[in-house]
A = this chain, B = another copy of it.
Amino acid sequence: MRDFSGDHSALALNTATLGHNLDGFGAGWSPEQVIDGCAARGYGGVVFWRREIGSNATAIGQRAKAAGLKVAGLCRSPFLVGPLAPNGREAVLDDVRSSIDMTAALEAPILTIVVGGVEPGTKGMSESLKIVADRVAAACEFAERAGVRLALEPLNPVYGGDRSCLVTVRDAVNLCEVIAADNLGIAVDVYHVWWDTDLANQLQRAGAGRIYGFHLCDWLADTKDVLLDRGMMGDGVADIRGIRGAVEAAGYEGLCEVEIFSKDNWWKREPGEVLDVLVDRFRSVC
């Protein structure tokens, strides 16, 4: 392993970057191996996906803490609306409650919410966003009781049809204002917002109190697959330093979480190598 003795304590790993060991990609590191690998390299935190945790949330959370890592959050809620959501409001909220409970058991502060796409039978974003507002408001109540905060993550507009009718920081801040819950904020991901020339203004609107997460990767100029061809920081065209600057100028002081879905490149590499490259790129281009 390379020597990364300087400070990169703001760096967190989202485990998707290693290829989701349950998906047949990546080298299949367990959560325990991920914790050890990140701790050994001086990472500040780690973010898991629900599928990796199973019924071991408490033990995994404690192990991370003992290793000196923050569990910065959990990915993610079910889709709340749209063609890929559980069938009906109660089924959605039941699964939201499960994900909130898992977040609490991990002792993670944040559950990421990906809201889902356009509700079948409707057109455009507005009807779906109304349904989202209702369901997020209910989720905020459960989360409040569990001591968990919810981070609305707007996705790139390319996912507007099936994965997220929430596609801008502007709309996410609007939702926060409408719902007005003390435990509701936003997550800002370079992949989803890099194109938005109004981003800095919207982050100022959000303010420090509402920015709960900041996710790093890069947008490759010739992206081959909008789901699974994200770039390593520095390999694409996003102004990562500018975006980080805008996020921090708005008052964000949390971790920088690397989340790279990369089926044909990074997911094929040895996890330890990927963790080394992340540290290197975090220090050189972020």
> Is the Cβ of B220 less than 8 Å from the Cβ of A161?
yes
Whether A221 touches B123, Cβ cut-off 8 Å, given contacts A170-B198, A237-B117, is: no
| Complex interface: chain B residues within 8 A of A226 (CB) | 158, 226
CA of A158 to CA of B236 in the docked complex: distance in angstroms?
Answer: 14
| Complex interface: chain B residues within 8 A of A209 (CB) | none
> Is the Cβ of B158 less than 8 Å from the Cβ of A221?
no
> Is the Cβ of B157 less than 8 Å from the Cβ of A221?
no
Whether A161 touches B236, Cβ cut-off 8 Å, given contacts A117-B221, A167-B195, A198-B170, is: yes
Interface set of A (CB-CB < 8 Å, partner B)? 82-83, 117-118, 122-126, 129, 156-158, 160-162, 167-168, 170-171, 194-198, 219-223, 226, 236-243
| Complex interface: chain B residues within 8 A of A242 (CB) | 123-124
CA of A195 to CA of B123 in the docked complex: distance in angstroms?
Answer: 10
> Is the Cβ of A162 less than 8 Å from the Cβ of B222?
yes
CA of A221 to CA of B156 in the docked complex: distance in angstroms?
Answer: 14
> Is the Cβ of A161 less than 8 Å from the Cβ of B83?
no
| Complex interface: chain B residues within 8 A of A160 (CB) | 194-195, 219, 237
Whether A124 touches B161, Cβ cut-off 8 Å, given contacts A83-B221, A221-B118, is: no
Whether A237 touches B118, Cβ cut-off 8 Å, given contacts A126-B197, A226-B226, is: yes
CB of A82 to closest CB in B, whole Å: 8
- The chain B residue with its CB closest to the CB of A117 is B221
| Complex interface: chain B residues within 8 A of A161 (CB) | 219-223, 236-237
Whether A125 touches B168, Cβ cut-off 8 Å, given contacts A219-B161, A226-B226, is: no
Partner of A239, one of B124, B196, B236, B238: B124
CA of A223 to CA of B226 in the docked complex: distance in angstroms?
Answer: 11
> Is the Cβ of B195 less than 8 Å from the Cβ of A125?
yes
| Complex interface: chain B residues within 8 A of A122 (CB) | 237
15 inter-chain pairs at a CB distance below 8 angstroms, sorted by A residue, are A82-B221, A117-B221, A123-B237, A123-B238, A123-B241, A124-B238, A124-B242, A124-B243, A125-B195, A126-B197, A156-B157, A158-B223, A160-B195, A160-B219, A161-B223
CA of A194 to CA of B165 in the docked complex: distance in angstroms?
Answer: 11
CA of A121 to CA of B93 in the docked complex: distance in angstroms?
Answer: 46
| Complex interface: chain B residues within 8 A of A223 (CB) | 158, 161
CA of A219 to CA of B225 in the docked complex: distance in angstroms?
Answer: 17
CB of A15 to closest CB in B, whole Å: 26
| Complex interface: chain B residues within 8 A of A158 (CB) | 156-158, 223, 226
